[in-house]
Amino acid sequence: MKFKALYIEIKDNKIKNQIKYITTNDLSDGDVIIKVEYSSINYKDMLAFKKNGGVIHKYPMIPGIDLCGEIVESNNPSYIIGQKVIATGFDIGVSHTGGYAQYARLKSSWITPLPDGLSLKDSMMVGTAGFTAALSIESLQQAGMHKNTQPKIAVTGATGGVGTMAIAILKAKGYDNIIAITSKDSQSQMLKSLGVSDIVSPKDIIKDDNKPLRSQCFHYVIDCVGGELASSLLTQIYYNGAMSVCGNASGIALNTNILPFILRGIKLIGIDSVAYPNKQRLKIWNEISNAMEFIRKVPITEVTLDTLIDKLDSIKNSNNIGRNIVSINNQ
Ligand SMILES: NC(=O)c1ccc[n+]([C@@H]2O[C@H](COP(=O)([O-])OP(=O)(O)OC[C@H]3O[C@@H](n4cnc5c(N)ncnc54)[C@H](OP(=O)(O)O)[C@@H]3O)[C@@H](O)[C@H]2O)c1
């Protein structure tokens, strides 16, 4: 049986993408085959289509770091034919053929059963971005964040995938004091409708005075931007607060000093969704499932394998808003 896949390869020292009709022989190894219903577009997927994006480990590759669908072949008795599953991260769409194809062959140790209350489409509205947002919130709660004190929580890159998902999940968990940090004035209405209490421009956070500590403004920070913004925020967190960092949308630098840590007891928490242990994933997905009423308020754009490339072009350069899902079997 032939089916559709979006390939990227290097030709004449340039990245080329192409829709091809392939068979399961062209897929990477694994013990389950999934008929893919939806995938999504994450920041990392956008980088996958860039030369020197640092994402694809071998070419040619079918990108797409997220996918969901139904098992059609299984060599693992824990997964039965017809079962609905989600897979994000690990080597998917990076060094193992990924979600931008009508079928995927994966290691069953990378998949999670679809939790109750979540549709396949819901799961890709969330995708890696939402899973990462949920991990960020979980890590801050472990560091002491609790809705009873209604802490001031800043979310950077607020209009992007991780940012909008973080706001929605925070609201679902009862947090009401959420400050969106965004450079997009045009998205105030959207952010208000997600439930943020305030909107601040990165220009008002980033200071170039090199002060090691500044006035305390936020109890907790969910950062997905990195660079100057994350560096400045570290100096503005209240005593005993914490900041989770998951992204580098504006750069990998983090200029800091020891004082926020030793004088204010600030915790800096790294978040990785890619290799997050599979055994603990269902618990996070169940929490996400409980937050769907709020997650459904996040702007979602749906594309197909044929229209995905046009969408990638429009989300480059910090232009993305909300989440983009890829309808795979609706071609
Ligand atoms: N550690 C992990 O496991 C993990 C998982 C998922 C994502 N990430 C990382 O988290 C970051 C955000 O991912 P995402 O899916 O939310 O991306 P996205 O949807 O493209 O959103 C990124 C947002 O960051 C803000 N931003 C600020 N400066 C930027 C710049 N120079 N270039 C691009 N965006 C800029 C923009 O929001 P505003 O205009 O509102 O400021 C933008 O919408 C990325 O670095 C991604 O690699 C990491």
Ligand 1 binding site (Cβ under 6 Å of any ligand atom): 42-44, 128-129, 132, 157-163, 182-184, 224-225, 246-250, 271-274, 315, 318, 320
Question: Are 79 and 163 part of one and the same domain?
Answer: no
- The preferred substitution site among 131, 221, 223, 225 for testing ligand 1, maximizing ligand atoms within 8 Å of CB, is 225
Domain boundary pick from 221, 249, 270: 270
- CATH number for the domain harbouring residue 141: 3.40.50.720
Q: Could you tell me the distance, in angstroms and rounded to a whole number, from the CA of residue 244 to the centre of ligand 1?
A: 14
Q: Could you tell me the distance, in angstroms and rounded to a whole number, from the CA of residue 180 to the centre of ligand 1?
A: 14
Is residue 174 in some structural domain?
yes
Name the token pair of 165.
């998902």
Hey, what amino acid is at 123?
Answer: S
CA dihedral sign, ordered 180, 186, 192, 198: positive
The model's pTM: 0.97
- CATH number for the domain harbouring residue 71: 3.90.180.10
Q: Could you tell me the distance, in angstroms and rounded to a whole number, from the CA of residue 158 to the centre of ligand 1?
A: 9
Domain boundary pick from 222, 250, 270: 270
What is the three-state SS of 266-285? CEEEECCCCCCCHHHHHHHH
Q: Could you tell me the distance, in angstroms and rounded to a whole number, from the CA of residue 230 to the centre of ligand 1?
A: 12
Question: Are 182 and 251 part of one and the same domain?
Answer: yes
What distance in Å separates the CA atoms of residue 22 and residue 75, rounded to the nearest whole number? 22
Is residue 50 in some structural domain?
yes
Question: Are 155 and 257 part of one and the same domain?
Answer: yes
Is residue 281 in some structural domain?
no
Question: Are 8 and 98 part of one and the same domain?
Answer: yes
Torsion, CA 155, CA 157, CA 163, CA 167, rounded to 10: 40
Is residue 289 in some structural domain?
no
pLDDT tens, per residue, the chain with 331 residues: 999 999 999 988 889 999 999 999 999 999 999 999 999 999 999 999 998 888 998 899 999 999 999 999 999 999 999 999 999 999 999 999 999 999 999 999 999 999 999 999 999 999 999 999 999 999 999 999 999 999 999 999 999 999 999 999 999 999 999 999 999 999 999 999 999 999 999 999 998 888 999 999 999 999 999 999 999 999 999 999 999 999 999 989 999 999 999 999 999 999 999 999 999 999 999 999 999 999 999 999 999 999 999 888 878 877 899 999 999 987 5
Q: Could you tell me the distance, in angstroms and rounded to a whole number, from the CA of residue 7 to the centre of ligand 1?
A: 24
Is residue 292 in some structural domain?
no
Question: Are 192 and 66 part of one and the same domain?
Answer: no
pLDDT of residue 66: 98
Domain boundary pick from 249, 270, 291: 270
**Measured from the CA of 276, which atom of ligand 1 is nearest?**
3
Q: Is 300 exposed, middle or buried (0-12, 13-18, 19+ CB in 10 A)?
A: middle
pLDDT of residue 312: 87
CA dihedral sign, ordered 63, 53, 281, 287: negative
Question: Are 108 and 172 part of one and the same domain?
Answer: no
Is residue 294 in some structural domain?
no
Q: Ligand 1 atom 18: the closest Cα is on which residue?
A: 160
Question: Are 7 and 102 part of one and the same domain?
Answer: yes
Question: Are 83 and 153 part of one and the same domain?
Answer: no
- The preferred substitution site among 246, 252, 273, 276 for testing ligand 1, maximizing ligand atoms within 8 Å of CB, is 246
Q: Could you tell me the distance, in angstroms and rounded to a whole number, from the CA of residue 106 to the centre of ligand 1?
A: 27
**Measured from the CA of 156, which atom of ligand 1 is nearest?**
41
pLDDT of residue 215: 96
Question: Are 106 and 149 part of one and the same domain?
Answer: no
**Measured from the CA of 164, which atom of ligand 1 is nearest?**
16
Domains identified in the chain, total number? 2
Q: Ligand 1 atom 34: the closest Cα is on which residue?
A: 318
Q: Could you tell me the distance, in angstroms and rounded to a whole number, from the CA of residue 161 to the centre of ligand 1?
A: 7
**Domain housing 17:** 3-114+299-327
Is residue 59 in some structural domain?
yes
Question: Are 108 and 140 part of one and the same domain?
Answer: no
Question: What string of DSSP letters covers 206-236?
Answer: ---S--S-----EEEEEESS-HHHHHHHHTT
Question: Are 197 and 263 part of one and the same domain?
Answer: yes
Question: Are 141 and 248 part of one and the same domain?
Answer: yes
**Measured from the CA of 250, which atom of ligand 1 is nearest?**
31
Is residue 9 in some structural domain?
yes
